[in-house]
Amino acid sequence: MGKLVVLTVLGVGLALIGERFLAFRGKMNAFREVEPVEPQNCHLIEGLENGSEDIDILPSGLAFISNKPGKIFLMDMNEQNPKAQPLQISDGFDKELFNPHGISTFIDKDHTVYLYVVNHPHMKSTVEIFKFEEQQRSLIHLKTIKHELLKSVNDIVVLGPEQFYATRDHYFTNFFLSLLEMLLDLRWSYVLFYSPREVKVAVTGFISANGITISLDKKYVYVADVAAKNIHIMEKHNWDLTPLKVIYLGTFVDNLTVDPDSGDILAGCHPNAMKLLMYNPEDPPGSEVLRIHNALSEKPRVSTVYANNGSVLQGSTVASVYHGKILIGTIFHKTLYCEL
Ligand SMILES: *[C@@H]1O[C@H](CO)[C@@H](O)[C@H](O)[C@H]1NC(C)=O
Ligand SMILES: CC(=O)N[C@H]1CO[C@H](CO)[C@@H](O)[C@@H]1O
């Protein structure tokens, strides 16, 4: 009898998982093709062929680009033909294990630039703080932040010295449980607030919270829920986040940045995520960059800045603009520069 119950429960469980998997596959838009959209004068950036997951551009036009084999590159967006150069990284932490993901910059009162980098050494999550030395083109490692709530961290946005929001993209750290979590739409993924004095979950309820950024006036926080294909807009009161609205984009939204001129949100997206999971060089995953105009207004408008079927750029994760120029990064592929 007991066995029968177990089998029944198992059967129902499997059926449920199968149903969810089919729904999930449907949601993955396996066959969605994109109409090509290309701004003017696009070219690929030399030396950034293995992915450039996250990009953050300083008000001065210096772009930091995090890259797969444990490197951070610098590029000056003011140059006619910008080139990417790897930054020297100081000793004092385990460079062999450096596995950079989301990055965020912070400039203090004395104009010193700090770079905060989400690091995944041995599948754990830490946040590394570096001081940027512009003359030497180097990063001086200052500190490693660890905390039990800092798990499966995807991206961060720095608000002040050692104060940031970080997204946790899935709740379970075990691979199969995290897959199940996504299939079952558990929405246990969250945004964490970190400061030396207090660490807390600021807001929860995401299937998979990914990119995070803040509005130009620092009053609103934008979070991409990649599996839900939307962007959550939240109002910031002290460190609390109050959900305001959700903008559905219908594509897998990865990382977010803000246009420093207009305040528009730029979203690096995966138009056909299934092709990312089942990579086929003959039919590669495409790229898509969307601009959300007036995100805070009653009727935000969404336009396509860039779209490609993978023949030029595969698996776009992030797009960052600087006065009429755009840099588009990818998970494992190339990096594209265009004029808008
Ligand atoms: C992608 O688009 C290019 C031209 O825009 C076309 O030549 C190519 O066949 C397309 N590739 C796929 C896999 O559809
Ligand atoms: C800033 C940010 O969210 N970076 C992420 C961009 O997307 C890739 C792929 O999901 C993540 O691994 C990065 O952490």
Residue 54 has a pLDDT of 85
Mean pLDDT, to the nearest integer, of 138-150? 94
pTM given for the model:
0.89
Atom of ligand 1 lying closest to residue 33 CA: 14
Decide: 101 in ligand 2 pocket, CB within 6 A. Answer: yes
Amino acid identity, position 53: E
Whether the pLDDT of residue 1 is over 50: the answer is no
Query: Is residue 46 a known part of a binding site?
Result: no
User: Mean pLDDT over all residues of the chain?
Assistant: 89
- 323 flagged as catalytic: no
Element (H, E) at 171: none
Atom of ligand 2 lying closest to residue 329 CA: 6
Query: Is residue 282 a known part of a binding site?
Result: no
Question: pLDDT digits over 256-290, tens only?
Answer: 999 999 999 999 999 988 898 889 999 999 999 99
Question: pLDDT digits over 48-57, tens only?
Answer: 988 887 899 9
Residue 92 has a pLDDT of 81
Beta bridge partners of 133: 138
Question: pLDDT digits over 151-195, tens only?
Answer: 888 899 999 999 999 998 878 877 788 777 777 778 889 999 999
pLDDT class for 95, splitting at 50, 70, 90?
confident
Mean pLDDT, to the nearest integer, of 221-246? 94
Domains parsed from the chain with CATH numbers: 55-272 (2.120.10.30)
Whether the pLDDT of residue 140 is over 90: the answer is yes
Residues sharing a CB contact under 8 Å with residue 262, sequence separation 6 or more, in sequence order:
293
Q: In this structure, which long-range contacts are made by residues 247-251, counting pairs with CB atoms below 8 Å and at least 24 apart in sequence?
A: 247/292, 247/295, 247/300, 247/302, 249/290, 249/292, 249/302, 251/29, 251/32, 251/288, 251/290
Residue 38 has a pLDDT of 95
Query: Is residue 155 a known part of a binding site?
Result: yes
Mean pLDDT, to the nearest integer, of 235-249? 95
Decide: 102 in ligand 2 pocket, CB within 6 A. Answer: yes
Decide: 136 in ligand 1 pocket, CB within 6 A. Answer: no
Report the C-alpha gap between 266 and 259 in whole angstroms.
7
Decide: 250 in ligand 1 pocket, CB within 6 A. Answer: no
**Distance from CA of residue 190 to its chain's centroid?**
14
